């Protein structure tokens, strides 16, 4: 939070702050009301009233608020956050103390909900400027992305101060294993390159670089986005499909060397407007595990994992970035099928001509998961232009 | 002062609806009624980083949103974080600049956008009792003046296909008990009338799935409150109480999606491929086109109607003055752009803030004069607020209050 209002707020006499706690049942009832908000504002006004009562309880309510992140949806999480902030800020005016020891204990216990831990950390830092130096070194592998990011940032600064080449290389190598955010990973890779160490960024991020592509299918007036072409029913890499303008469509292998897995369909398929393309990949996973399928795509997009749609977004030419879209699914142990549908529309403006995508598979923090990408066996053209038989 | 509603005469015919608020207040994007004009006096003429500031304060993040001012309090939004996932609402004392409170929420929608904009692009709106802050992520929060959370909604949780990877920027507007939230995007698009006290939908109008960055305008049309909300394909006006469509106007000329509609001398002004002056009919039929002109191409900024003329800066950096009755250019006056902020006016002067943080104070008339060129640290994309005898300028990480100390 870094809020000057509560920065400098002296934390002492910690347990005393809990001496006059409101009845736990009352606090629980208020938190239950906040966590009961439904869609379209149903229960929102009641949650607002509960919020006010909760805040009146002062710092005593903070541990319960943080614990309430367990099972809280995104809406409730924000009511809880603003309540905790209000308590902290008003505590300054009322000369109350924050329960710093309890906050720190909550942060340290990784079994606690991530958002609650992050909030506890920010409240703690607002009253204890030494907390980051004390806590962050132990958070390089934290399960909360924001805490881990802060920890990596501190260690990155330390690594950049190293003048000994082997020591710096070692420090950056360790950080490469822990960093998850693109700006930090890219910086570490750059520093390692300067030290003579090449980083396979695609592998580091978990980008898929080997695909089988089938296109173009017709998507005149955007209708191909909803239409189920054969690859969406079942992928047959030997099949020949009727494509746009009666063109015969075959699967063809495509390997991208882009470190961020970018596939430019205009180059690979050709500049076709009003068209749909399918990209298919197979991966081997050593275990069953939940994953995120993160894509960047400037066109309308659908992502399927083992035949199940995990993401869909019908939006064209509004930008592309790594991790722009996130689908969630579960990898099976063994072979998994990934299918991506990328639709190009018929806009004629110069800025509306791109047709490209990228996809990576990672854990919830953005770290690559163990997997082996299987080269697709297709009968169509190889990247070299030869026909496989 | 107890707020009430009245029709405020803007031009000869068209009325805009605005709550009667103290002259010192600036309650929404382009001020009360969306007219971008203050009736106050005593605004400063010259200032710099070292002179003429009443106060300045750090902000926790970026923002293209304007500050709003009511009851001696300034409300402003910001967004911060690696993924811009932290959304801030802050309140400052308008006199001293003391931060009164700050609330932060985590974004629940996508934070992807064009690098020029950010998640704190829509301007909040206040009725002096509460502030309603919409973010480009679809997060919508209501706080009372003391920072108590009245209600909060994640519109992306409610309507999961909402998406605008360029970055949403339309601002909400208020009329009586209805908070009107514009949400034109590439997914489920709508204009929602939300009960400002409970956060529940009163009505929700389906709109074309197309991105749109402009802010609706509330007008009086024959004694009926209507909210005018153009899209790139159609201009539509809805009954504020029910959301029912009252009339519409289709023309390729109005296709823009960025500058907002504003009231003029004899009618409603719609910036787009052409600036079109429309006189709405009171019986729901198609409005009458009074005139249109192509020269007023202002990019991001919404032009200004002020004292029988229309002012806006074109892509070449020329401030255009247009006769509001005829739609004819009167003069051009060179300024240094680019501009994203919309011009505002008071005391016979026009204030234009460019993206570098320079405010040009121009005295219009037969021969325009640049009275002052005032540099502050940019970038500045936000339209200024004129309130409490001061000019509130919002830079990327700083809130400036320009005016005499009190």
Tens-digit pLDDT profile for residues B137-186: 999 999 999 999 999 999 999 999 999 999 999 999 999 999 999 999 99
For chain B, list residues with pLDDT below 70. Answer: 1-23, 255
Task: Write the residue in B99, B104, B105 that is nearest to A5 by C-beta.
Answer: B99
- Residue A19 domain flag: yes
How far apart, in whole angstroms, are the C-alpha atoms of residue B272 and residue B253? 6
Q: What is the pLDDT of residue B233?
A: 81
- DSSP string covering B330-396: EEEEE------SPPEEETTEEEEE-TTSEEEEEE-SSS-EEEEEEE-SS---SPPEEETTEEEEE-S
Burial A256-276 (b: 16+ CB within 10 A, else e): beebbbbbebeebbeebbbbb
Q: What is the largest CA-CA distance in chain B?
A: 56
Is domain B4-402 classified as CATH 2.140.10.10? Answer: yes
Which range of residues forms the domain containing residue A347? Answer: 205-374
Is residue A224 located within the same domain as residue A82? no
Sheet of B385-387, strands arranged across: B53-58, B398-402, B390-394, B385-387
Is residue A321 located within the same domain as residue A351? yes
- Please report, for residues A58, A205, A314, A372, B268, the alpha-carbon distance to residue A286 in angstroms, rounded to integers and kept in the order given: 49, 18, 33, 9, 65
Q: Are B300 and B339 in contact (CB under 8 A)?
A: yes
Is residue A274 located within the same domain as residue A174? no
Q: Name the closest residue on chain A to residue B143, using Cα atoms.
A: A48
Query: DSSP 3-state assignment of B57?
Result: strand
Q: The domain that contains A235 carries what CATH number?
A: 2.60.120
Q: How far is A381 from chain B (nearest CA, A)?
A: 35
How far apart, in whole angstroms, are the C-alpha atoms of residue B75 and residue B92? 7
Is residue A351 located within the same domain as residue A336? yes
Instruction: Kindly state whether A89 is in contact with chain B, defined as any CB-CB distance less than 8 angstroms.
Output: yes
Instruction: Kindly state whether B255 is in contact with chain A, defined as any CB-CB distance less than 8 angstroms.
Output: no
Is residue A245 located within the same domain as residue A339? yes
Q: What sign does the CA torsion over B306, B310, B313, B316 have?
A: negative
Q: Which residues of B touch A42 (CB under 8 A)?
A: 200
Q: What is the pLDDT of residue B16?
A: 62
Burial of residue B366 (number of CB atoms within 10 Å: 0-12, 13-18, 19+): exposed
Instruction: Kindly state whether A319 is in contact with chain B, defined as any CB-CB distance less than 8 angstroms.
Output: yes
Is residue A107 located within the same domain as residue A153? no
- Residue A99 domain flag: yes
- Residue A97 domain flag: yes
Q: Which residues of A touch B198 (CB under 8 A)?
A: 41, 44-45
Tell how strand B349-353 and strand B344-346 pair up: antiparallel
Whether complex ipTM tops 0.90 = yes
φ/ψ of residue A359, rounded to 5: -150, 135
Q: What is the pLDDT of residue B273?
A: 87
Instruction: Kindly state whether A83 is in contact with chain B, defined as any CB-CB distance less than 8 angstroms.
Output: yes
Q: What is the pLDDT of residue A280?
A: 98
Q: Which residues of A touch B82 (CB under 8 A)?
A: 149, 181, 183
- Please report, for residues A245, B130, B316, B340, B376, the alpha-carbon distance to residue B379 in angstroms, rounded to integers and kept in the order given: 50, 29, 19, 10, 9
Instruction: Kindly state whether B329 is in contact with chain A, defined as any CB-CB distance less than 8 angstroms.
Output: no
Is residue A46 located within the same domain as residue A177? no
The answer to whether B157 contacts A75, with C-beta atoms less than 8 Å apart, is yes
Is residue A254 located within the same domain as residue A339? yes
Query: How big is the A-B interface in CB pairs under 8 Å?
Result: 120
The answer to whether B211 contacts A86, with C-beta atoms less than 8 Å apart, is no
105-164 of B, contacting A, C-beta below 8 A:
105-106, 108, 110, 112-114, 139, 141-142, 147-154, 157-158, 161, 163-164
- Residue A383 domain flag: no
pLDDT along chain A (389 residues), means of 10: 40 37 86 97 97 95 96 97 96 82 96 97 95 97 97 97 97 97 97 97 97 97 97 95 93 96 97 98 98 98 98 95 96 98 97 97 97 87 43
- Residue A343 domain flag: yes
- Residue A389 domain flag: no
How far apart, in whole angstroms, are the C-alpha atoms of residue B391 and residue A50? 38
Is residue A193 located within the same domain as residue A212? no
The answer to whether B104 contacts A316, with C-beta atoms less than 8 Å apart, is no
- Please report, for residues A128, A239, A347, B152, B158, the alpha-carbon distance to residue B155 in angstroms, rounded to integers and kept in the order given: 36, 43, 29, 9, 5
Is residue A116 located within the same domain as residue A164? no
Is residue A58 located within the same domain as residue A181? no
B-interface mutation test, from A8, A315, A324, A328, most B Cβ less than 10 A away: A315
For chain A, what is the domain count? 3
pTM: 0.92
- Residue A332 domain flag: yes
Tokens at residue B61, please?
Answer: 């993040």
The answer to whether B166 contacts A51, with C-beta atoms less than 8 Å apart, is no
Q: Are A359 and A305 in contact (CB under 8 A)?
A: no
Q: What is the pLDDT of residue B18?
A: 57
Q: Which residues of B touch A74 (CB under 8 A)?
A: 106, 108, 154, 157
How far apart, in whole angstroms, are the C-alpha atoms of residue B60 and residue A283? 43
Chain centroid to CA A299: 20
How far apart, in whole angstroms, are the C-alpha atoms of residue A274 and residue A225? 10
How far apart, in whole angstroms, are the C-alpha atoms of residue A52 and residue A37? 15
- Residue A254 domain flag: yes
Domain chopping of chain B, boundaries: 4-402
Task: Write the residue in A45, A82, A89 that is nearest to B197 by C-beta.
Answer: A45
Is residue A67 located within the same domain as residue A179? no
Q: What sign does the CA torsion over A70, A72, A74, A80 have?
A: negative
Last residue of a domain, one of A167, A184, A199: A199
């Amino acid at each position: 939070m870094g809020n000057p209002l509560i920065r400098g707020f002296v934390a002492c006499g910690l347990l005393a702050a809990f001496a006059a706690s409101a009845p736990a049942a009352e606090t629980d009832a208020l938190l239950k009301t906040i966590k009961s908000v439904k869609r379209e504002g149903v229960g929102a006004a009641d949650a607002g009233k509960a919020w006010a009562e909760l805040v009146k309880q002062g710092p005593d309510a903070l541990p319960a608020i943080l614990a309430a992140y367990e099972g809280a949806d995104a809406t409730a999480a924000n009511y809880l956050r603003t309540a905790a902030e209000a308590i902290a800020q008003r505590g300054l005016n009322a000369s109350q103390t924050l329960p710093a020891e309890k906050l720190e204990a909550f942060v340290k216990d990784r079994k606690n909900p991530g958002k609650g831990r992050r909030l506890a950390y920010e409240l703690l830092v607002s009253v204890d400027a030494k907390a980051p130096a004390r806590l962050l070194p132990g958070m390089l592998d934290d399960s909360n992305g924001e805490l881990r990011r802060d920890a990596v940032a501190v260690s990155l600064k330390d690594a950049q101060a190293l003048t000994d080449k082997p020591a710096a290389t070692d420090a950056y190598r360790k950080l490469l294993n822990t960093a998850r955010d693109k700006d930090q990973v890219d910086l570490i890779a750059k520093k390692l390159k300067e030290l003579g160490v090449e980083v396979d960024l695609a592998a580091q991020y978990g980008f898929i670089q080997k695909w089988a592509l089938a296109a173009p299918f017709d998507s005149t007036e955007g209708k191909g986005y909803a239409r189920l072409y054969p690859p969406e029913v079942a992928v047959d890499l030997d099949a020949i499909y009727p494509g746009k303008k009666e063109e015969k469509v075959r699967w063809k292998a495509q390997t991208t060397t882009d470190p961020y897995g970018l596939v430019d369909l205009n180059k690979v398929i050709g500049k076709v407007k009003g068209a749909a393309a399918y990209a298919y990949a197979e991966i081997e996973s050593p275990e069953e595990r939940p994953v995120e399928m993160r894509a960047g795509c400037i066109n309308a997009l659908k992502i399927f994992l083992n035949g199940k749609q995990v993401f869909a977004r019908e939006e064209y030419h509004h930008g592309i970035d790594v991790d722009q879209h996130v689908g969630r699914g579960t990898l099976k142990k063994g072979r998994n099928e990934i299918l991506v549908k990328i639709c190009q529309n018929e806009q004629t403006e110069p800025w509306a001509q791109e047709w490209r995508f990228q996809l990576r598979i990672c854990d919830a923090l953005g770290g690559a998961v163990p997997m082996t990408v299987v080269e697709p066996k297709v009968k169509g053209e190889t990247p070299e232009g030869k026909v496989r038989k | 002062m107890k707020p009430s509603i009245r029709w405020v005469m803007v031009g000869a015919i068209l009325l805009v609806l605005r709550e009667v608020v103290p002259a010192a207040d600036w309650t929404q994007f382009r001020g009360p009624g969306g007219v971008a004009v203050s009736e106050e006096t005593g605004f400063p003429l010259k200032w710099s980083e070292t002179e003429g500031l009443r106060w300045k304060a750090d902000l926790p993040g970026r923002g293209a949103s304007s500050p709003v001012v009511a009851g001696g309090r300034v409300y402003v939004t910001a967004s911060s974080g690696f993924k811009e996932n932290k959304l801030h609402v802050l309140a400052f004392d308008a006199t001293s600049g003391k931060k009164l409170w700050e609330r932060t929420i985590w974004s629940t929608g996508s934070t992807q956008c064009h690098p020029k904009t950010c998640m704190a692009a829509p301007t909040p709106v206040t009725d002096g009792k509460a502030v309603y802050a919409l973010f480009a992520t679809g997060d919508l929060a209501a706080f009372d003046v003391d920072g108590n959370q009245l209600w909060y909604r994640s519109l992306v949780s409610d309507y999961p296909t909402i998406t605008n990877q360029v970055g949403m920027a339309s601002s909400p507007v208020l009329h009586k008990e209805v908070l009107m939230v514009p949400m034109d995007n590439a997914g489920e698009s709508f204009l929602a009338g939300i009960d400002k006290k409970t956060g529940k939908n009163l009505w929700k109008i389906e709109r074309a799935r197309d991105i749109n960055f402009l802010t609706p305008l509330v007008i009086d049309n024959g004694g009926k409150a209507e909210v005018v909300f153009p899209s790139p394909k159609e201009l539509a006006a809805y009954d504020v109480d029910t959301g029912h469509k009252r009339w519409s106007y289709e023309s390729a000329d109005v296709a823009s999606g960025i500058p907002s509609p504003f009231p003029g001398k004899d009618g409603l002004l719609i910036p787009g491929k052409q600036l079109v002056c429309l006189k709405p009919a009171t019986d729901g039929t198609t409005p009458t086109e009074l005139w249109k002109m192509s020269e007023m191409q202002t990019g991001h900024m919404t032009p200004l109607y002020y004292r029988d003329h229309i002012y806006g800066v074109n892509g070449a950096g020329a401030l255009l003055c247009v006769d509001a009755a005829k739609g004819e250019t009167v003069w051009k006056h060179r300024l240094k752009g680019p501009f994203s902020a919309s011009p505002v006016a008071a005391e016979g002067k026009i204030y234009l803030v460019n993206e570098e943080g320079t405010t040009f104070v121009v005295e219009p008339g037969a021969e325009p004069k640049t009275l002052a060129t005032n540099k502050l640290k940019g970038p500045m994309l936000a339209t200024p607020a004129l309130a409490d005898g001061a000019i509130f300028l919002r830079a990327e990480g700083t809130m400036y209050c320009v005016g005499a100390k009190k």
